[in-house]
Structure 1
Amino acid sequence: MFHDIAIEDMMVLKEKGDMVLIDVRSPSEYNNSTIPGSLNIPLFDDEERAEIGTLYKQVSPEAAQERGLEIVSAKLPNFIKEFKQIDGEKTVFCWRGGMRSKTSATVLDLMNVKVNRLLGGVRAYRKWVVDKIERMDLPQKAFILNGNTGTGKTLILRKLLKEGYPVIDLEQMANHRGSIFGQIGLQPHNQKTFDSLLIERLEQLKDSSYLLLEGESKRIGRAVLPDALCDFKEQGVQIFIEMPIEERIQHILDDYQPWEYKSQCIEAFRKIKSRIHTPISAQIEECLQSEEFSLAVKLLLEYYYDPRYKFTADQYPESQKVTLHVQNVDEAVEKIKKLIGNELKVSNRLASI
């Protein structure tokens, strides 16, 4: 017989890498929100789920169950085969830990495929995430990476992440670059997915004495940062990266590849063109149309993004700011590593007094 597993126990095993999670809900439900890292082996596809739901509401629960049994019976061999191909301990879940996960676990058990069933399903997981957000436990120290658009802040953070630094990559969690052009070439995550990725990363870093993250605004694409995290960021050491504009332009071109998304770039620009002096905005739009992307980016930086950034930077007291003048991303990484090391040494000395 399959075993039921509570959300807290499942998360411990998941963090250790000892658990494979399988979402048996329909593809659209899975794509909307799931437990990060889970696989999708649906018991019903979207059309089948809609059909069963209609029967349940318009005919009877018995009619819905009978139709569900017909559908499951037809696809059972492939369903079981997919599970048998997955190594390791497995846990199935649906929305509330109800009929779909119970049916899946029962059928698999009959075929000698051992699985657990997550009690409460995605609903219980979401409650776990929300509870964690409401009582967010953060370290005392934060290093916040700021800089003009194009300074490669996300690239810097990801290089530091590879070296084992406790990085929170908010843009990756939101799947958005944080500007009006930020979703070009991407499919932004919704709030539930962002919350899940954030909390699971914070759980991984719960023993760290500090966190390193980018100075994002409260909203990144479709996601809104929790108030506690915003407050934490505001109190951190604000690192400001100064980099030559030529390097910044190249970073933007490499990241956004506007030649691949020309129409989307023009559409995004038109949302902000009224905020730019008319002759300049006309020139930018003309550059985008004629694919003079380097000049378009340069003008956007000089007449839109840099003035806005300066206003934001001026809000911080000088005592809270550290400015690093660098030529490229690699130099920035090395200077940030040195700065963090020095700051932690000072903190450790003060703590020992």
Structure 2
Amino acid sequence: MFHDITLEELLKQQHNENHTIIDVRSPKEYNETTIPGSINIPVFSDEERAEVGTLYKQVGKETAKERGLEIMSAKLPEFIARFQEIDTPKTVFCWRGGMRSKTAATVVDLMGIDVSRLQGGVRAYRQWVVSELEKADFPPDIVVLNGNTGTGKTTLLHQLAEKGYPVIDLEGMAGHKGSIFGHIGVEPNIQKEFESQLVQSMRKLRDAPFVLIEGESKRIGKVTMPEFLFDKKEQSTQLFINLPVEQRVRNILDDYQPWNQPEKFIEAFDRIKKRIHTPVAKQIDEDLKEENYHQAIRLLLEYYYDPKYTHMFEKYLKDKTKIFETTDMEGAFSKIENELFKMYPQKAKSM
């Protein structure tokens, strides 16, 4: 017989061993928010879940259960096969540790596959995430990678992470690149998923002497940074990168490749063009429509992003701000790494 485990027990197992957690909810539910690191082996597809839910509301519980059993029986061989492919300890969960996870755990257990079920499901996990954020407790120093739009901050963060530096990628968690074009080509996350990933990263990096993050606004796409983290970021050391405009334009073009989805870039610009002096806005609009992206990006930097960044830069304390002049991305990475070595010599030596 399968056994239930608490969220605390699951988190310990995840930390101490290679453990697979399996979300048996529908793909749509899974894609909206789940426990980070889980895989999806759904009891019902999105359409099947809707059908069973409708029967439950309009006909009754027993009819819905019968239809659910019929659906599950037809896909049982494939469902079991997915579990048999996993050679690590397994825990299943659904929304609140109810019928779907109980059904999944029961049939898998009957086939001789050891499995546990998470008490309270995703709801219990969500309650834990909220409680962790309410504590507002994250001991490491924050080091903020900052700079004008196009300085390649996200690329530099990824390079530092690959080299072993402690990094929290807020844009990656938000599913947004932070600019007016930041939603293009990525799948935005909802607040619950953002907070879930953030808490897991904070938990993992809690004992690090410092953590690198990017200089973000409080709002990133559709999500909002927790107040305590935003305040700590604002009061932390800011490493500003100054790159020539031409290099920044190249970085933006390499990153976004607007020629692949030109209509979306025009739509995005339409939302902010009223904030730019009319003749300049008109020129940018024409450049985007004529696919003259180099000039369009350059004008956006000069007349929209850089003035905003200058205003933002002035609010930081001078003794917390360090500026690095460089001509390319390689130079930026080298200067950032050298600064980290000065600030945290013991940690940097281990990289």
Q: Please state which band the TM-score falls in when normalised by the shorter chain.
A: over 0.9
| TM-score, length-scaled by structure 2 | 0.96
Corresponding residue number in structure 1 for 2:84: 84
Question: Could you tell me how far apart the structure 2 residues matched to 1:320 and 1:7 are?
Answer: 40
State yes or no: 1:49 paired with 2:49: yes
| Aligned AA (1:87) | D
Corresponding residue number in structure 2 for 1:330: 330
Corresponding residue number in structure 1 for 2:27: 27
Corresponding residue number in structure 2 for 1:263: 263
Deviation digits for residues 293-340 of structure 1, max 9, x if unmatched? Answer: 011100100111001100000111222211011112221122112212
Question: Could you tell me how far apart the structure 2 residues matched to 1:96 and 1:119 are?
Answer: 7
Corresponding residue number in structure 2 for 1:225: 225
Gaps spanning 5+ residues in structure 2: where?
Answer: none
* Residues 197-346 of structure 1 aligned to structure 2 (within 5 Å): 197-344=197-344
Going from structure 1 to structure 2, the CA distance change for 1:79 and 1:241 (only over 3 Å counts) comes to: same
Aligned residues: 347
Question: Could you tell me how far apart the structure 2 residues matched to 1:140 and 1:69 are?
Answer: 50
Q: How far 1:12 moved relative to its partner?
A: 2.3
Asked if structure 2 preserves the Cα contact closer than 8 Å seen for 1:15 and 1:204, the reply is no
Question: Could you tell me how far apart the structure 1 residues matched to 2:241 and 2:155 are?
Answer: 13
* Residues 137-148 of structure 1 aligned to structure 2 (within 5 Å): 137-148=137-148
Q: How far 1:139 moved relative to its partner?
A: 2.2
Asked if structure 1 preserves the Cα contact closer than 8 Å seen for 2:148 and 2:306, the reply is yes
Corresponding residue number in structure 2 for 1:125: 125
Corresponding residue number in structure 1 for 2:10: 10
Going from structure 1 to structure 2, the CA distance change for 1:212 and 1:53 (only over 3 Å counts) comes to: same
Asked if structure 2 preserves the Cα contact closer than 8 Å seen for 1:146 and 1:215, the reply is yes
Asked if structure 1 preserves the Cα contact closer than 8 Å seen for 2:140 and 2:207, the reply is no
Asked if structure 1 preserves the Cα contact closer than 8 Å seen for 2:141 and 2:210, the reply is yes
Corresponding residue number in structure 1 for 2:158: 158
Q: How far 1:16 moved relative to its partner?
A: 4.2
Going from structure 1 to structure 2, the CA distance change for 1:13 and 1:330 (only over 3 Å counts) comes to: farther
Question: Could you tell me how far apart the structure 2 residues matched to 1:133 and 1:320 are?
Answer: 26
Asked if structure 1 preserves the Cα contact closer than 8 Å seen for 2:140 and 2:206, the reply is no
Deviation digits for residues 167-195 of structure 1, max 9, x if unmatched? Answer: 11111111101111110111111111111
| Aligned AA (1:288) | L
Deviation digits for residues 128-180 of structure 1, max 9, x if unmatched? Answer: 11111111321252211110000000111111111111111111111101111
| Aligned AA (1:273) | K
Q: How far 1:4 moved relative to its partner?
A: 1.1
Deviation digits for residues 78-113 of structure 1, max 9, x if unmatched? Answer: 111111112211111100011110111011111111
| Aligned AA (1:298) | R
Corresponding residue number in structure 1 for 2:73: 73
Corresponding residue number in structure 2 for 1:350: none
| Aligned AA (2:223) | A
Q: SS at the partner of 2:343?
A: helix
Question: Could you tell me how far apart the structure 2 residues matched to 1:46 and 1:158 are?
Answer: 34
Deviation digits for residues 264-295 of structure 1, max 9, x if unmatched? Answer: 00000011111111111111111111111011
Gaps spanning 5+ residues in structure 1: where?
Answer: 348-353
Asked if structure 2 preserves the Cα contact closer than 8 Å seen for 1:97 and 1:119, the reply is yes
Corresponding residue number in structure 2 for 1:184: 184
| Aligned AA (1:268) | A
Corresponding residue number in structure 1 for 2:109: 109
Question: Could you tell me how far apart the structure 2 residues matched to 1:141 and 1:102 are?
Answer: 43
Asked if structure 2 preserves the Cα contact closer than 8 Å seen for 1:24 and 1:42, the reply is yes
Percent identity over the alignment is 54
Asked if structure 2 preserves the Cα contact closer than 8 Å seen for 1:219 and 1:225, the reply is yes
Q: CA RMSD in A?
A: 1.5
My pick for the range that moved more, 103-112 or 9-18, is: 9-18
My pick for the range that moved more, 230-239 or 51-60, is: 51-60
Q: SS at the partner of 2:75?
A: helix
Q: How far 1:346 moved relative to its partner?
A: 11
Asked if structure 2 preserves the Cα contact closer than 8 Å seen for 1:93 and 1:118, the reply is yes
Q: How far 1:341 moved relative to its partner?
A: 2.0
Q: SS at the partner of 1:168?
A: coil
Question: Could you tell me how far apart the structure 2 residues matched to 1:243 and 1:52 are?
Answer: 57
My pick for the range that moved more, 15-24 or 201-210, is: 15-24
Going from structure 1 to structure 2, the CA distance change for 1:346 and 1:21 (only over 3 Å counts) comes to: closer
State yes or no: 1:149 paired with 2:152: no
| Aligned AA (1:199) | V
Asked if structure 2 preserves the Cα contact closer than 8 Å seen for 1:139 and 1:211, the reply is no
| Aligned AA (1:3) | H
Q: How far 1:122 moved relative to its partner?
A: 0.5
